[in-house]
Amino acid sequence: MTRKINIFDTTLRDGEQSPGASMNTEEKLVIARQLLRLNVDVIEAGFPISSPGDFESVRRIAELAGEDATVAGLTRAIEKDIDVAADALKYAKRPRIHTGIGVSPSHMRDKLRITEDQCIERAVHAVSYAKKYVSDVQFYAEDAGRSDYDFLVKVIQAVVDAGATVVNIPDTTGYSLPEEFGQRIKYLMDNVRGIENVTVSVHCHNDLGMATALAMAGVKNGATQVECTINGLGERAGNTAMEEVVMAVRMHEAELDAHTDINTREFIKASRLVSSITGMNVQANKAIVGANAFAHSSGIHQDGVLKKRDTYEIIDPADVGAGASQIVLTARSGHAALKHRLEELGYEFEGEQLDQVYEAFLNLADKKKEVYDEDLESLVNERDREESALYTLESVQISCGFPLTPTATLTLANPEGEPITVCAYGTGPVDAVYKAVNQIIRVDNDLTEFSVQSVTRGIDALGEVTVRVKAGNGEVYTGRGADGDIIVSSTKAYLNALNRLLSEKR
């Protein structure tokens, strides 16, 4: 059996310290319920002495968690802090007091203004004092990533001897390199007596973009708990992202001799919940939970994924609650991706027909960042309309604006395929185009309806125009046209209606 890596979630404590991400008690309870669905081992519910709201949050989450998770409250190495945390945790079935002190030269000299001996004395007293309230005491050696190796051993040895059940080795500033941080953990494992009997935890920050790598280096060298947050939320550049470290452990379970008990299928739900409550949106290319994490736009990648998913995906999107892989259609997509999406929409094209549709798709994709399902349906329908048309649009150009007179220059191909070009004036650009069309297609009709709507979202969306014309005999004919240029859409729609009228007459 592989080593169990405990997942210590600090979204509600360190994550909330991210500027602009503060939460009230009710919001914390909503997230806590999702953390329980994720099956996290420890929920750090807050810093009880910091505010009445934090105290209440810790108290209520302690009641909520029951036997399902350990609930931790943070303190400084101060008796009053520990008293208040113990009071907040008194209804917890599995309480943990998380206390500690800075151990780097910078923290001792500049922040705390104490000597090394005083640091050790305070650390031991805090652990011993917390043990009066709870059996499970976690000690954090703040800024351990920049501490002296041998002094760090002395501190950790002292708190282990004092009864700490968990020792937390944080890279508080995100300063370390993964290899060096791993060596630091190994040095402790090799030099602290009895460390095999306690949980060694790592808490890493992302200031240099390496929080997950640092945490994984810790696990590789003996750590059995990782402190992390949903979406990597946290102070400054954030913390280790839970979803990243858990999936990394899963992908490399054998070589790490490690596993977690996290229900990974709840990750997407958890990510979206935390984003909606905190207002901190996840970047599209964020690992595991980003919008593009399982999206493919390159034709080569799309072809590979469609043939066998793991050619380009090491994680099954369903395993993290993301549903299926996304084939994003862009100008870089190939025939295989287009054919696959069209088949999903119910259209089947082969050979020359597929080539024609693909050519039309590329023309559209060159104008848009992304081609959506609605675009494809509109494109296919437009193709069908053009195939059955008597008159087809070859070009249209508009000159308009204040104080110009709207002028349309139009070229249509007649039923024999011969181009006919005319010019017309109107009260507006669409009126000018329609008058030009009427000069070529001389059929009695009355335009009774004209409407425009966006086919898809975004500033580059296709505009679809619907028109209705009434023939001389009272029959009404509907025409539709779609294009990125609304004037072109309007022209195609009017042509479509008149072509249907003429076909009916014939």
Of the candidates 279, 262, 241, 324, the one whose C-alpha atom is nearest the C-alpha of residue 27 is 279
Number of domains into which the chain is organized:
3
The radius of gyration of the chain from alpha carbons, rounded to an integer in Å, stands at: 33
Of 278, 306, 331, which one is at a domain's C-terminal end?
278
**Quick one: what percent of the chain has pLDDT higher than 90?**
61
Residues with Cβ within 8 Å of residue 237, at least 6 apart in sequence: 174, 205, 206, 207, 209, 211
383 domain-assigned: no
Alpha carbons within 13 angstroms on the beta-carbon side of residue 286 total 22
Q: Which residue has the higher pLDDT, 429 or 350?
A: 429
pLDDT, the chain, mean? 89
Mean pLDDT of 161-188: 97
Average pLDDT over residues 243-271: 95
Q: What is the CATH number of the domain that holds 147?
A: 3.20.20.70
Within a domain: residue 376?
no
**Higher-scoring residue by pLDDT: 481, 67:** 67
Same structural domain, 423 and 319: no
* Lowest-pLDDT choice from 46-55, 104-113, 349-358, 364-373: 364-373
Q: How many CA atoms lie within 13 A of 75 on its CB side?
A: 29
Using 50, 70 and 90 to split pLDDT, how confident is the model at 480?
Answer: confident
Mean pLDDT along residues 472-496? 87
- Peptide linkage before 406 cis (omega within 30 of 0): no
Mean pLDDT over 425-450 rounds to: 93
Which tops the pLDDT comparison, 319 or 177?
177
Pair of tokens at residue 101? 């002190």
Asked if 41 and 171 sit in the same domain, the reply is yes
Please check the confidence at residue 237 and state whether its pLDDT lies above 80. yes
Q: Are residues 177 and 76 in the same domain?
A: yes
Note the pLDDT of residue 67: 95
- Dump pLDDT digits (tens) for 310-368: 676 667 777 888 766 665 666 677 788 778 777 866 778 888 888 888 887 787 777 76
Q: Are residues 337 and 254 in the same domain?
A: no
- Write out the residue range of the structural domain in which residue 136 sits: 3-278
pLDDT band with cut points at 50, 70 and 90 for residue 296: low
Listed in order, strand segments (DSSP E) in 69-205 are 70-74, 95-102, 137-142, 166-171, 199-204
